[in-house]
Amino acid sequence: MYDTVLVPTDGTEHAERAAAHAQYLATMFDATVHVITVVDVQAAAGPFDAGGVDTAFVERLEAEGERAVAAIESTFDGDAIETAVLRGRPEEAILDYTDEHGVDLIAMGTHGRTGVNRYISGSVTEAVVRHAEVPVLTVRKTAVSRVTEYDEIMIPTDGSAAAGAAVEHGLAVAERTDARVHAVNVVNVSDLATGADYTLPTELLQTFQERGQRVTEEIAAAARDRGLDAVTEVREGFPGQDLLDYAETAEIDLIAMGTAGRTGLRRFLLGSTAERVIRHADAPVLAVTEPDEE
């Protein structure tokens, strides 16, 4: 499934965390790793540079980028590593490189340090997640994200095509790592209600619960067919927060979920859940975009 894994870096610990997870997955799938950095000369020069920048300035930026790439490269075992220092807007350069080199998975840190030439930040990572045609593994700097063994994998679902896009990826990783699969559905009571004082009819709530049980059991059955242990969970509440709570309680090591399309991290599980989970989950999130219809 993953033959080529891309690791963008700016030399921060956030990028190093993502690289560790990329190495783990690359080993599992026997993938080639590409480590790149993007030198954003315009951003580094700042808004007050009307006359352009000199060659020495650009060379210093590129030398810094080369050091960042070398630091990541030195942590990898094996010879299947390619590196590059690019110029341009980070998100555009990352996406272009992905297309040109047939990348199957991008692994990025989130919330990197700010600064004129630092780019592994929430905004860039989210832009890549929105527009990438391949899965993006996002890794925050948390205690949980230090763990690079996936024993517990959560796959949230509402039964939609957007959610379903992540199922095969989650199961494929679980199969390689022999992880237990957690199929989780959250019935979003707030979206179903029409007012603060509104109480859902028992029959309607039961319908959504039964649907949740059906779609989670479908994932669990697919996991068991692969020889994996699997559990299901159906809850009522607020999908973003409830998924985060479940991930913490169940000590989830990886969350695999859909994002609802390249036009934005739009409504998922009846809310903008993917965006919230990516921003706040302690565990890495494997964000998978539903392919566009031809």
Locate the domains of the chain by residue range. 4-141, 147-288
User: What is the per-residue pLDDT for 25?
Assistant: 96
User: What is the per-residue pLDDT for 123?
Assistant: 76
User: What is the per-residue pLDDT for 222?
Assistant: 97
User: What is the per-residue pLDDT for 143?
Assistant: 81
pLDDT in tens, 172-197: 999 999 999 999 999 887 655 555 55
Q: Is-same-fold flag (4-141; 147-288)? A: yes
User: What is the per-residue pLDDT for 199?
Assistant: 59
User: What is the per-residue pLDDT for 131?
Assistant: 87
User: What is the per-residue pLDDT for 263?
Assistant: 46
- 189, 200 Cβ separation under 8 angstroms: yes
Whether domain 4-141 has CATH 3.40.50.620: the reply is yes
pTM of the predicted model over 0.85: yes
How many angstroms separate the Cα of 135 from the Cα of each of 131, 164, 291? 10, 13, 11
Report the 10 Å Cβ neighbour count for 34. Answer: 21
pLDDT in tens, 233-248: 999 888 889 999 999 9
What is the domain class of 147-288 according to CATH? alpha beta
Which residues, given as ranges, of the chain have pLDDT below 70?
44-53, 78-79, 111-122, 190-200, 261-271, 292-294
